[in-house]
Chain A
């Protein structure tokens, strides 16, 4: 009789221990995983490029030619038109991120990866690119060609 009476509480006690033990193990597992998951995320790269960069010296450019320059961590494309005016755009194709080039024969911007083309204002005119290229401001400072991001209106 006595033994039978002590039996019923057992399952609930066992259950409580299981909850404590399982909860404790889950909590420690979470404390192992949380730092690891945070560790996986690479720290953001500081873009040291700023908003302005000297893309080239004017003596380096020939009419009807283009040149890739570094704008922060990304490439930009500087074009000297046949009439001697300058133009600067983002060189990252809006389709899948290849670096575009200036085609003097077509007087267009062309992406070799999937045959996308843009006009000199950066508008996507044919091929797969979904959006126009970003256009930058260009001004001359002495013999330096300075490219800057367009001020947000």
Chain B
């Protein structure tokens, strides 16, 4: 019956023509091939976010007087509400984690080099936007931690000379973090960001589809010298089925995490209480947070905060332009880029660990 339906559609829409590029698409197989799964897993977790996010919208109410109560209602009264929200929170964290893994795998497999510079740039923008998702979504339950995280986060944006202050006021919807901020973040989180990210993912995937999948330079040189060594598998169905298995594992991990460690709700935000001791941002902001903490309050005559914010922004920008420094000679990349990549990875992991352990 299913086959008959496909045939019926194929007669009218020429489905074969749509699937044909997928049939020709191949994925290189070598001992580092498993890193190719992480982009797909990130995409899968994004889909999970969209679906669970829509479900949460059935009961969530934005607003300083209602947000916390509505999340509490979802967690305690709505059947399986705790599960849906916990999956949304866990999937968000895993998505940011897999996005970072995907980025570093691209760095170390040197997949950003010509002709894939723009794929890298769109990927980096996606990473920033995904962190924006994390930041805006974190406020929505309107609890104490979220309130202070938003206060500090928007304050940091306000440190940028000249444009900082207007940006901060734009983000907060006023001078302070209030219900107006919650309304804005809600809008960013459920309308603005999903729209932009969906379009960018489409562009990112279109680039990957056009250019095929990158092979590490040394291996590529060897395969070019000796074409009989080249090993590939068909994307459809061979790689696709493997990817689906990875997704299946991902959803298993998600369900287990959500069931065993349901996401907490905390205490309702109150603008007139002190920040609790030991307050820290989410782990994916921790390396930047720790960097800012280590910079002295005055460096020469510049404010430490300003220096830190500008330094982090500059580092992010240069990192996004990485492929343009790499040169375009196929099969060879500059040694200092490899060194820099290792430094970046060690720095991010080290600072995150330090941020966790530091008092």
A residues whose Cβ falls under 8 Å from a Cβ of B: 28, 32, 35-36, 38-43
- Complex CA gap A38/B80 in Å reads 7
User: Quick check: B77 and A35 within 8 Å, CB to CB?
Assistant: no
A36 to B84, CA, bound (A): 8
Q: Which of A28, A32, A42 contacts B78 (CB 8 A)?
A: A42
Q: How many residues of B contact A (CB 8 A)?
A: 13
Q: Is the CB of A40 within 8 A of B77?
A: no
Please name all residues of chain A whose beta carbon is closer than 8 Å to the beta carbon of B248 when the two chains form the complex.
28
Q: Is A38 touching B55 in the complex (CB atoms < 8 A)?
A: no
Docked pose: A40 CA to B73 CA in angstroms: 14
**What are 15 contact pairs spanning A and B, CB under 8 A?**
A28-B248, A32-B251, A35-B80, A35-B83, A38-B79, A39-B58, A39-B78, A39-B79, A39-B80, A39-B81, A39-B83, A39-B84, A41-B79, A42-B59, A42-B78
Q: Mark B242-254, 1 if CB is under 8 A from A, else 0.
A: 0000001001000
Interface centre among A35, A38, A39, A41 (most CB of B within 10 A): A39
A149 to B234: give the CA distance in the assembly, Å. Answer: 72
Residue of B whose beta carbon sits closest to that of A41: B79
Using Cβ atoms and an 8 Å threshold, which residues of chain B touch A28?
Answer: 248
Contact A36–B55 (Cβ < 8 Å) = yes
Complex CA distance for A42 and B78, rounded to whole angstroms: 7
User: Nearest Cβ in chain A — how far from B94, in angstroms?
Assistant: 17
Binding site for A on B (CB under 8 A): 55, 58-59, 73, 77-81, 83-84, 248, 251
Contact A43 B77, beta carbon cutoff 8 Å: yes
Residues on B with C-beta less than 8 A from A35 are 79-80, 83-84
**Distance (Å) between the CB of B344 and the closest chain A CB?**
38
CB distance from A18 to the nearest CB of B (A): 13
Tell me how far the C-beta of B45 lies from the nearest C-beta in chain A, rounded to whole angstroms: 15
- Residues in B with CB closer than 8 Å to A41 are 79
Report A149 CB to chain B, min CB distance, Å: 26
Instruction: List chain B residues, Cβ under 8 A from A43.
Output: 73, 77-79
Q: Which residues of A contact B59 (CB under 8 A)?
A: 42
Query: CA of A39 to CA of B77 in the docked complex: distance in angstroms?
Result: 10
Give the distance in Å from the alpha carbon of A40 to the alpha carbon of B77 in the complex.
Answer: 12
Please give the distance in Å from B21's CB to the nearest CB on chain A.
26
Do the beta carbons of B58 and A40 come within 8 Å of each other? yes
Q: Which residues of A contact B58 (CB under 8 A)?
A: 39-40
Minimum CB–CB distance for B326 against chain A, Å: 43
Nearest 4 interchain pairs by C-beta: A35-B80, A38-B79, A43-B77, A39-B80
Instruction: Enumerate chain A residues within 8 angstroms of B55, measured Cβ to Cβ.
Output: 36, 39
* A34, closest chain B residue (CB): B80
In the complex, what residues of B have CB within 8 A of residue A32's CB? 251
Chain B residue nearest to A39 in the complex (CB): B80
Task: Give, as a whole number of angstroms, the nearest-CB distance from B294 to chain A.
Answer: 45
- With A35-B84, A39-B58, A43-B73 given, can you name 19 additional A-B contacts, CB distance below 8 Å? A28-B248, A32-B251, A35-B79, A35-B83, A36-B55, A36-B80, A36-B84, A38-B79, A39-B55, A39-B78, A39-B79, A39-B80, A39-B81, A39-B83, A42-B59, A42-B78, A43-B77, A43-B78, A43-B79
CB distance from B224 to the nearest CB of A (A): 39
Bound together, the chains give a CA A136 to CA B79 distance in angstroms of 35
Chain B residues within an 8 Å CB radius of A42 = 59, 78
* Whole-angstrom CA separation of A39 from B58 in the bound complex: 9
B83 to chain A, nearest CB (A): 6
Please give the distance in Å from A45's CB to the nearest CB on chain B.
10
| CB nearest to A44 among chain B residues | B77
Give the docked Cα–Cα distance between A36 and B248 (Å).
18
CB-CB < 8 A to B79: which residues of A?
A: 35, 38-39, 41, 43
Residues of A within 8 A of B78 (CB): 39, 42-43
